[in-house]
Structure 1
Amino acid sequence: MDGAPAAAWRGTVRAVASGPAPGAAWALLGDFFSLDRWVSTVRTCRRVEGDEVGRVRYCEGPVNMAAAPGEAAVVGWSKERLLEVDHAGRRYSYEVVESNKGFGRYRATMRVEDDPAGCAVAWSFEADPVEGWTQEGFVGFLEELARGVARRLEEEINVAKPDGV
């Protein structure tokens, strides 16, 4: 190898939530500090600095990859800065600024989209290769996270309006 940096990873994952209207989903997901409510692997999500664009959240939970047999689970954490928020467009962009999860450069946009079934949650990302992952494995992990967020939205919103009324 000539020491050239590996190509950046880019991709988008999308999961449909049956029932919730996009506006109702955004009312819940649009809070930059509520990730622990929607992503099962995030146990803590709190503000550490700033207001509006530029604010930083601290997220903590089990490391994305399973511990080896007999090994204690490691707590993973990251600090993430909000780069842009567009409430009308139901999206925000952020970057990882510090982490123990193997991230170098990582930028992502989370958005709520229209879908005939209700709405969809979509994450687009651009990242340097993540230590310990293949690109396919990383995308698969993000797809599972998006499906989990869609399920949580269905649970939260559809329960509030029984029978989809």
Structure 2
Amino acid sequence: MQSRKIPVWLISSIGALFLFMQRGGTRRTPPAPASQALAMEQCQVEGWEGKASAKLPNTKADEAWSLLSSFCSIHLWLPSIDCRLVAGAEGQPGCVRYCTSPPGDDGSDAAYWAAEELLAFDPVGRSYSYKVAENNMGFGRYVATFRAVPLPGNERGCELQWTFDCDPLPAWTKEGFVAYLQDNLDGIARRVEDAVRTAAAAALSNTQASE
């Protein structure tokens, strides 16, 4: 009896099936074209990073830091909010401040609030970092650092810096949020300069009175 030859196409099909079964019988999706992968990447929402800064030409960094280093006393320099310590010890990482502000312009009677946790405190570098935890303001991930640094070429002055890294905020643009932060920091800078100027004038007056 003459043996019958198996067609080449059948051998190829059987080999492919065997290989398919050896790999678990799972069909593998080919990688997406580069253009499709790029489109998918662009669809992902990117986080925000930004910075506000304010120069104090007549206030040294140490002077500014001595007034602003209290994590739970931000309301002294930003009177539009109330702030109090609700957990932990002031100035120790892990402590939490509770900040509230009046209702916004949306017609709601509800006050805005946020619990903010101190992450790091560096008196030598004149800075502290914190994150927003629970809140009703739409914050998701939000980490910020506040610092006072000397002004290059001006040992009498300093610069306040407020940097942040966060998820996009509902109903805000990044530019609008940076402008809001800048406005608050400008107000803090003015009040600190006024306080330092007043203290210097009082010290001079006391010195002259004692002579």
TM-score with structure 2 length normalisation?
Answer: 0.70
Match of 1:46 among 84, 87, 95: 84
Distance 1:48 1:5, change over 3 A: farther
Q: Is the 8 Å Cα contact of residues 40 and 148 (structure 1) preserved in structure 2? A: no
Deviation of the 1:113 alpha carbon: 1.0
Taking CA–CA contacts closer than 8 Å with sequence separation of 6 or more, which of the two structures ends up with the larger relative contact order? 1
User: Map of 1:54-93 to 2, 5 A cutoff?
Assistant: 54-63=94-103, 66-68=104-106, 71-93=107-129
For residue 190 of structure 2, what is the aligned residue in structure 1?
A: 151
Q: C-alpha distance in 1, partners of 2:85/2:44?
A: 33
Match of 2:168 among 110, 125, 129: 129
Q: Which has the higher strand share?
A: 1
* Cα offsets for 1:44-71 (capped at 9, x unmatched): 11111112111000001125xx414xx2
Q: Which amino acid aligns with 2:87?
A: E
Q: Which has the higher helix share?
A: 2
Q: C-alpha distance in 2, partners of 1:16/1:6?
A: 33
Q: C-alpha distance in 2, partners of 1:5/1:38?
A: 38
Q: C-alpha distance in 2, partners of 1:41/1:8?
A: 27
Identity %: 38
* Cα offsets for 1:101-152 (capped at 9, x unmatched): 1111000000001122611110010000011100000011011111111001
* Cα offsets for 1:73-123 (capped at 9, x unmatched): 541110000000000100000000111111110000000011226111100
Q: C-alpha distance in 1, partners of 2:167/2:44?
A: 9
Q: C-alpha distance in 2, partners of 1:62/1:19?
A: 32
Q: Which amino acid aligns with 1:102?
A: G
1:162 is the counterpart of 2:198: no
SS in 1 for 2:79: coil
Q: C-alpha distance in 2, partners of 1:140/1:151?
A: 17
Match of 1:140 among 179, 185, 193: 179
For residue 113 of structure 1, what is the aligned residue in structure 2?
A: 149
Larger Rg: 2
TM-score with structure 1 length normalisation?
Answer: 0.88
Deviation of the 1:5 alpha carbon: 4.6
* Cα offsets for 1:14-33 (capped at 9, x unmatched): 00123111111101110001
